[in-house]
Structure 1
Amino acid sequence: MKLHSPLPERKTRLEIIPLIDVMFFLLASFMMVSLTMTKQKTIKVDLPVASATQSDFKPDMINLAVNAAGDVFYDKTAVTLPELERKLSEHFGKDRATPVYISADVNTRYADLVKVLDAAKRVGFTKVAFNVKPANAAKPNP
């Protein structure tokens, strides 16, 4: 026995409008994610020499330098690694947000740079960077 419904019979159909909305949402999401992705580049840098002029130093930052022999300088004053750590900890107690910049000679050993970087990190500084020359900077005449 066939039962009839009082409602009119409708054909089933595929609603494409919500599908288009979902596809545009996915497209926009992927575009936003791809814009936030950064490509890491390795560049050949020529590190600056350890003897910097007084105009390079600013009072609101800590300047460290390492020469080719492995000697460490704290604001143009030669220090040993334990002295460096003591001076950094004294400064860390005053201002924790001070950036630390490490300059090095071109021929400085990587191990000497890591020792200075490790001393700054052990004290607690989080804003540590290496000073480098821009690639288009003119080289000084000897």
Structure 2
Amino acid sequence: MTGNDSSGGPKKARIEIIPLIDVIFFLLATFILFTLSLEKIQSLPVELPKAAPPSAATSQEDETVTLQVSEFGNCYWTHRKTTELIDVSDVRPRLQNYKANTADPRVLITTDDRAKFSLAIRVLDEVRLADIDKVSVETRVRTTGR
């Protein structure tokens, strides 16, 4: 009796799911390996900075000059925890004197919340003209004179 089951009727067709799963996994693995071989993975070597002891960081902080630009066109010169109100035209001579007396001059430029952007750029230009390379610009807002 071919084509009939034990009850005498025609045999029903069945779809076997196990071989179907095997074929799908094979195709998936093939596509993954194929796409990985197409893309060349390239990387760049990165040298991360090393942490300095706290005493060295504190001494660097004391030698850094902070120039804060105010909304009125003045600058606050902060060096070794003393702050002075100066005019923008006095920035370059002071920076040149600071560079002559400091082995590793560093400048931090910051502004108060109402300072004009053009004044901060002018101070940045004065630092560049004083030939100081280590310059940082602070992005958080400080109160005037701090």
Q: TM-score, normalised by structure 1?
A: 0.52
Q: Does 1:65 align with 2:76?
A: no
1:107 CA drift (Å): 1.6
- Are 2:32 and 1:32 equivalent residues in the alignment? no
Number of matched residues? 87
**Partner SS, residue 92 of structure 1:** helix
Counterparts of 2:98 and 2:90 in 1: how far apart (Å)? Answer: 12
**Higher RCO structure, 1 or 2 (CA under 8 Å, sep 6+):** 1
Q: Which has the larger radius of gyration?
A: 2
Return the structure number with greater strand share: 2
**Residue 119 of structure 1: how far off its partner (Å):** 0.6
Query: What is residue 10 of structure 1 aligned with on the other side?
Result: none
Contact 1:96/1:125 (CA < 8 Å) preserved in 2? no
Give the gaps of 5 or more residues in structure 1.
Answer: 1-23, 37-57, 135-142
Cα distance in 2 for partners of 1:77, 1:108 equals: 17
Q: Which has the higher helix share?
A: 2
Correspondence for 1:125: 132
Q: Give the root-mean-square deviation of aligned CA atoms.
A: 2.7
Report sequence identity in percent: 14
Cα deviation per residue 1:55-96 (whole Å; 9 max; x = unaligned)?
Answer: xxx422011111112211111211123322111101111225
Aligned runs of 1:59-138 on 2, under 5 Å?
Answer: 59-75=62-78, 76-133=83-140
Question: What is the SS of the residue equivalent to 1:32?
Answer: coil
Unaligned 5+ runs, structure 2:
1-36, 47-60, 142-146
**1:106 CA drift (Å):** 1.7
Letter in 2 for 1:83: D
